[in-house]
Amino acid sequence: MKLDYMIELEGGFRIHGSEELRSGCLRIRPVLPEGRVKAVTARVNITMAEDERFFVNGYQTWTYCPEQGRHGFTRGMGKLPKFVIDKFGIDRYGDYFFVDYPQTPGVMHGESYCYFRRGGNYRLIASLDERAGYTLLRYDSRCGVLTISRDCAGVRCGGVFPALELYYAEGGEDAVFDGWFAAMGVKSRGAKRLCGYSSWYNRYQNIDAESITGDLAGCAEHMLRGDLFQIDDGWEPAVGDWLETDAKKFPDGLKGTVRDIHGRGFLAGLWLAPFVCQKDSKIFREHPDWLLLHDGKPWYCGMNWGGFYAIDFDHPQAAQYLRDVFRRVFTDWGFDLVKLDFLYAAAPVNLPTESRAKRMRRAMGFLREMCGEHLIIGCGAPLMPAFGLVDYCRIGCDVGLDWDGSFIMKMAHRERISTKHSLENTLFRRGLNGRAFGNDPDVFFLRSDNLKLSGGQKTMLARADALLGSVFFTSDDMNAYDEEKRETYRELRRLLDAENVRVRMDGMPRIEYTLNGEEQRLALPFLTADM
């Protein structure tokens, strides 16, 4: 296939050319004069058959990105009034503020990698390195054109510039993904599959020392030594204030709680969002100079916790504060793992000195440095900058307590809470599992209370998580499990030993696998082949 490209600088300098996009790596690295990049764009003609499927990776962890047919499209926020978007920062959760959404049938877009799939044959087109800027991919099935561009507008250049660095492969699923990661030189950190408990999807922020102690006792009846017990959001006085606990909820701090978790034979995990602070936090009030500024104003990240803002990890005092936080979490309190959330806030805009993608990669490296060999679950993160740096990473949005949210929620962004969307992302981002990191599909449920999922939906979610992910968590109060739920949980744990797991999307979506020498399948009747 011929790839036609053009590189433009501010001031009128322009380079254009053509290269063959064939199996393997294609690197376009022209020598550019001093200046600022205006645009890097390329076009490839690719015809999509009527029975072919197209997948393009979404911006960050929570971004909904299913396979679609040739008449699918990438839905933005066109139905939301602008004043609502601006007031609540809804566009800040995804790429809406720097990518155009035509919302036209047949036009689909995303970042970093995409593939065309016909049966078991894949045509993968993927970025090899995002530091020069996110690789933006837009396919228009109406004319059969894939547009590839760099998100690097405004970045200074001079000398050799990695305008486009692409990998192309055709073949089976494992072959094309193995080839891509070998070409990048990226390997997963190799952390083992992680089972356990999270406090979030039952209690949410309503946790305290008593409830955590009670949940720990229930987990001790069912979980195994080496599993993880994770304390999620709600332990801190305010988001951003990480050096102490909420004195009313945890008057004795968390050190004793960690000791109790370890006493049960479990690893101890803690949630925090290192690059953000809510408006009501001490950090926001006392250190406004630590906030990340854009056009002279603090960068508003979204509406969670009444509104929250980005912290500039390049500020020396803010960086030292974060080092102190992780020292407190790991050394003083004794946690083994951190779930790091809302990471996209570290790098929202391009700067003259670097693209937002390069800054995001630096932010992930900074987290790795601070955590050392302790385990990291990344969340709310652009995926490719996290490759090889986190042990596990969420690959979908939060599951909900119902299947697909309310009508009002369906009008929101692609990063909204949805059990259906979470499960679909588990299916379609499975190629990253064990290659980029261990995939975290989010939690499953067995309980009946505080939940609106049907029995079939719960079964499908739990079994898909067990078969396709590297993280297998629940948020149930296990004290309430009756014998039926106890046996179901044991059965799900046995499912983790399945082999030869593969996904079939012809007709009824299903997962096929081998367990104890027998071929089995999991049908996914709540999904359709044309998502």
* Each residue's pLDDT tens digit, 440-477: 999 999 999 999 999 999 999 999 999 999 999 999 99
pLDDT at 173: 97
List the CATH code of the domain at 194-273+319-499. 3.20.20.70
Q: Please compute the mean of the pLDDT values over residues 96-109 and round it to a whole number.
A: 94
Strand partners, 510: 504, 523
Confidence grade of residue 528 (pLDDT, cut at 50, 70, 90): low
Distance CA 398, CA 420 (A): 10
Q: What are the pLDDT digits (tens) for 185-232?
A: 999 999 999 999 999 999 999 999 999 999 999 999 999 999 999 999
Q: Please compute the mean of the pLDDT values over residues 252-266 and round it to a whole number.
A: 98
pLDDT at 408: 80
- The conformation of residue 337, written as its DSSP 8-state character, comes to E
Give me the amino acid identity at 66.
P
Contact yes or no for 36/167 (Cβ under 8 A): no
Strand partners, 521: 512
* Average pLDDT of the residues of the chain: 96
For 460, the token pair is 């499908």
Contact yes or no for 266/226 (Cβ under 8 A): yes
Tell me the whole-structure pTM to 2 decimals. 0.97
pLDDT of residue 531 exceeding 70:
no
Confidence grade of residue 306 (pLDDT, cut at 50, 70, 90): very high
Distance CA 478, CA 457 (A): 19
For 282, residues 6+ apart whose C-beta sits below 8 A from its C-beta are: 237, 238, 240, 241
Q: What are the pLDDT digits (tens) for 108-160?
A: 999 999 999 999 999 999 999 999 999 999 999 999 999 999 999 999 999 99
Contact yes or no for 427/464 (Cβ under 8 A): yes
pLDDT at 259: 98
pLDDT of residue 79 exceeding 90:
no
pLDDT of residue 78 exceeding 80:
no
* Domain spans in the chain, listed from the N-terminal domain onward: 2-184, 194-273+319-499
For 3, residues 6+ apart whose C-beta sits below 8 A from its C-beta are: 18, 19, 20, 21, 26, 42, 43, 44, 148, 166
Could you give the 3-state DSSP secondary structure of residue 258? helix
Q: Of 501, 507, 432, which Cα lies nearest the Cα of 466? A: 501
Contact yes or no for 184/129 (Cβ under 8 A): yes
Half-sphere exposure of 242 (CA within 13 A, CB side): 28
pLDDT of residue 526 exceeding 80:
no
List C-alpha distances in Å: 82 to 88, 89, 306, 388. Answer: 10, 10, 19, 38
Contact yes or no for 415/64 (Cβ under 8 A): yes
pLDDT at 529: 44
